[in-house]
Amino acid sequence: MGKMAVLIVDVQKALVEAHPYREEEFLQELENLADSARKAGTEIIYVRHDGGAGDELESGTEGWKIHEAVEPKTGERIFDKSFNSAFLETDLEEYLKEKQITDLILMGMQTEYCIDATCKAAFELGYGVVIPTGATTTYDNEFMSGEATVRFYEEKIWAGRFADLMPAEAVLGLLGC
């Protein structure tokens, strides 16, 4: 693997306060991985969704803010987006190239929307993608439970195709922790 960064996508107050699958465990997992990455000197990059006027994720509103469990530290970059992909109409790719980052540890919300779109876009752009198991989440819907959705994407969509899925302990090893 080349130079890595952690990409935390859409862990925003309104989304977390809607109580996704494994809410507490998910936040704890992200907090632990982010703290370990910081200690290892790995850059953490945040992506925040702006849903537009009147949306629960409208820029500048309380719900739009990054959740306090994983809020950025001074100097950590935040990229705002308006689409599912963290790359579409943002400067993220340019920033990663400037920093010579070749591999991403991807975490956040929602599994089947912004994480999936960002994972596939990163893959298509040539980035290595690692997703720690249990480090994405979503909600129950009329077709699947949040648990089934996460498992489906981890086991049937991403693993061996678009990303390397590994337990947090293995990700810590990649970080040199």
- What is the domain-level CATH number for residue 87? 3.40.50.850
Domain extent at residue 25: 4-174
Reported as a single tens digit per residue, the pLDDT across 40-84 is 999 999 999 999 999 999 999 999 999 999 999 999 999 999 999
Is the model's pLDDT at 176 over the cut of 90? no
Q: What's residue 177's pLDDT? A: 77
Question: Are the C-beta atoms of residues 33 and 135 closer than 8 Å to each other?
Answer: yes
Could you give the C-alpha distances from 55 to 86, 98, 109, 117, in angstroms and in order? 18, 33, 17, 20
Provide the domain count of the chain: 1
DSSP string, 21-85: TTHHHHHHHHHHHHHHHHHHT-EEEEEEE---TTSTT-TTSTTTSBPGGGPPPTT-EEEEESSSS
Reported as a single tens digit per residue, the pLDDT across 95-110 is 999 999 999 999 999 9
pTM of the predicted model as reported, rounded to 2 decimal places: 0.97
